[in-house]
Amino acid sequence: MTEHDKEQAFLRHIESTKNYFAAVRTNGNVPWFEDLEHLEKLEPSYPGISQRPGIEARRVFFTGRYTRPEPPEGLHRDPRKPENRTEELSA
């Protein structure tokens, strides 16, 4: 997926949720992307999101689906990697 495709998907998402967040505001609530307390809770997973409330916070959260973080150290060993194969063969 190209950057242009990602941006178009984001804009479609914004458009498709416009009525929902209008209803949230009408009911006297604050959308998650404007709630600084909520954004601070997302900070460990999305660094910098609390500094950009509004549409930019939504963009950070939405485009996060296109990135894959590195797994935590020691969580997974890929048996296809040569350094792991030698250890397993000698054990």
Residue-wise pLDDT for 19-54, tens only, equals 999 999 999 999 999 999 999 999 998 888 889 889
Q: Where are the domains of the chain?
A: 3-65
**Which residue's entry shows tokens 């916070």?**
57
pTM of the model: 0.63
Alpha carbons within 13 A on the beta-carbon side of 39: 22
* Rg, C-alpha atoms of the chain: 20
- pLDDT at residue 86 greater than cutoff 60: no
Most confident of 45-54, 64-73, 81-90: 45-54
- pLDDT at residue 90 greater than cutoff 70: no
How many whole angstroms separate alpha carbon 40 and alpha carbon 23? 24
Extract the tokens encoding 70. 């590195």
User: What sign does the dihedral 32-44-70-76 (CA atoms) show?
Assistant: negative
